[in-house]
């Protein structure tokens, strides 16, 4: 969760299913919240009118907060209290990971503590923009430029690429990032990705320049890195649960989850987004929510799984809920 906490007004950016669950716990009926959204407006076209969705910032007074069925998002509904003059009545925000939600209230000390614990560590990401002529490596505010001789008609292209990529890899080894976003026009970026050993995200860019870098950012490259990290985390956690079943260090199913939760013997509880959607549909989400709350406030960790398709299917095969014991 990315947070900017101020007295009377805070901005919250959920980055995972866990963060959406936390939002559902700290945004209450009667609260004022606002975000950029799309809303239908009527356009007069001579003797006729048409409805068109337009982007706008709205503030609503909340009357409902719930997970949307079959989607990885949180639905926050209420009456519009501030917005363009023609925006009146009720509206619903569909809050997904990466969306910014403004909350206009003072949080309690417990809520602030939960938000601080949820504050995410940013991954160390390096961006490489590359074409035949040059490469620009961006790491934080630093910029490193590497010139290439590949464009020379009289040169050995394979050898030139080897030298060029060697310089790029040398700089990357000095930075040693967790993830590398490789972007640029043409095929050179693909060749580089096949030669580096870092976890990579491949993007397109029209030029090797600051404007090309802004282009990569606008396409959501860092959000994609976040998805990759999240998918890996979900996979590793579910795999760990399966590995610990034989030794009795993990548990699965709603009954066992309730038992170990009552014993406060839950290090981590893993819940499928499908189980949440089904419980909402069947009107028994309050029971699941109560179980999640007990784990959270008992010092255990809760992870909602829904980004990694394979991990979600495996968890659903265990009843949609499982975990690892403390002892």
Contact of 277 with 69, CB cutoff 8 Å: yes
Long-range interactions of 157-161: CB distance < 8 A, separation 24+: 161/191
Element (H, E) at 271: strand 268-272
pLDDT digits (tens, 9 = 90+) for 187-222: 999 999 999 988 899 999 999 998 898 888 888 887
Q: Residue 248's pLDDT is what? A: 95
Residues 315 and 325: their CA atoms lie apart, in Å, by 17
The H-assigned helical ranges of the chain are: 17-26, 109-118, 157-175, 188-193, 210-218, 221-244, 254-262, 273-281, 285-297, 309-316
Cα dist from 192 to 129, 166, 196, 206, 212, whole Å: 10, 10, 6, 17, 18
Q: Residue 121's pLDDT is what? A: 65
Average pLDDT of span 240-269: 94
Confidence label for 45 from pLDDT (cuts 50, 70 and 90): low
Contact of 83 with 57, CB cutoff 8 Å: yes
Average pLDDT of span 17-46: 84
Partners of residue 66 on adjacent β-strands = 75
Average pLDDT of span 15-32: 85
Average pLDDT of span 269-288: 84
Task: Show Cβ contacts of residue 121 under 8 Å, excluding neighbours closer than 6 positions.
Answer: none
* Phi, psi at 70, each rounded to 5°: 65, 10
Q: Flag the least confident range among 40-49, 213-222, 302-311.
A: 40-49
Average pLDDT of span 163-190: 93
Q: Residue 166's pLDDT is what? A: 93
Residues 83 and 204: their CA atoms lie apart, in Å, by 36
Average pLDDT of span 50-74: 82
Residues 134 and 146: their CA atoms lie apart, in Å, by 6
Average pLDDT of span 12-38: 88
Torsion of CA 51, 54, 59, 64, to 10 degrees: 60
DSSP state for residue 186 in the 8-state scheme: S
What is the set of domains in the chain, with CATH numbers?
Answer: 2-118 (2.30.30.870), 125-219 (3.30.420.60), 236-324 (3.30.1330.30)
Share of the chain above pLDDT 90, in %: 46
Average pLDDT of span 176-194: 92
Q: Kindly report the pTM of this predicted structure.
A: 0.68
* Other Cβ atoms within 10 Å of 132 Cβ, number: 18
Residue 70 predicted with pLDDT over 60: no
Contact of 304 with 16, CB cutoff 8 Å: yes
Average pLDDT of span 44-70: 79
Sheet holding 2-4, edge to edge: 2-4, 10-13, 101-103, 32-45, 48-67, 74-82, 90-95
Residue 238 predicted with pLDDT over 60: yes
């Amino acid at each position: 969760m990315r947070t900017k906490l101020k007295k009377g007004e805070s901005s919250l950016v959920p980055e995972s299913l866990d963060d959406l669950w936390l939002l559902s716990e700290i945004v209450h009926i009667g609260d004022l919240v606002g975000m950029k959204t799309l809303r239908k407006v009527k356009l007069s076209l001579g003797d006729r009118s048409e409805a068109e969705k337009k982007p706008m910032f709205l503030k609503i007074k909340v009357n409902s907060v719930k997970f949307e069925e079959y989607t990885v998002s949180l639905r926050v509904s209420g009456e519009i209290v501030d917005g363009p003059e023609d925006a009146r009545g009720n509206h619903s925000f569909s809050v997904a990971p990466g969306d910014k939600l403004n909350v206009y209230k003072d949080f309690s000390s417990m809520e602030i503590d939960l938000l601080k614990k949820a504050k995410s560590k940013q991954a160390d990401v390096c961006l490489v923009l590359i074409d035949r002529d040059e490469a620009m490596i961006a790491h934080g505010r630093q910029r490193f430029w590497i010139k290439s001789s590949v464009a020379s008609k009289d040169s050995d292209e394979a050898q030139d690429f080897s030298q060029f990529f060697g310089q790029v890899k040398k700089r990357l080894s000095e930075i040693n990032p967790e993830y590398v976003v490789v972007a640029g026009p043409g095929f050179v970026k693909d060749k580089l990705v096949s030669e580096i050993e870092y976890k990579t995200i491949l993007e397109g860019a029209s030029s090797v320049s600051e404007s090309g870098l802004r282009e990569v950012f606008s396409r959501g490259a860092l959000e994609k890195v976040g998805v990759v990290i999240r998918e890996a985390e979900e996979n590793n956690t579910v795999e760990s649960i399966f590995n610990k079943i034989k030794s009795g260090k993990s548990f699965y199913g709603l009954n066992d989850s309730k038992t170990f939760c009552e014993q406060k013997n839950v290090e981590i509880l893993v819940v499928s987004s499908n189980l949440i959607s089904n419980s909402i549909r069947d009107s028994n989400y309050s029971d699941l929510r109560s179980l999640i709350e007990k784990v959270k406030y008992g010092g255990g960790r809760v992870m909602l799984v829904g980004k990694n398709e394979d991990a979600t299917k495996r968890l659903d095969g265990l009843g949609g809920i499982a975990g690892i014991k403390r002892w």
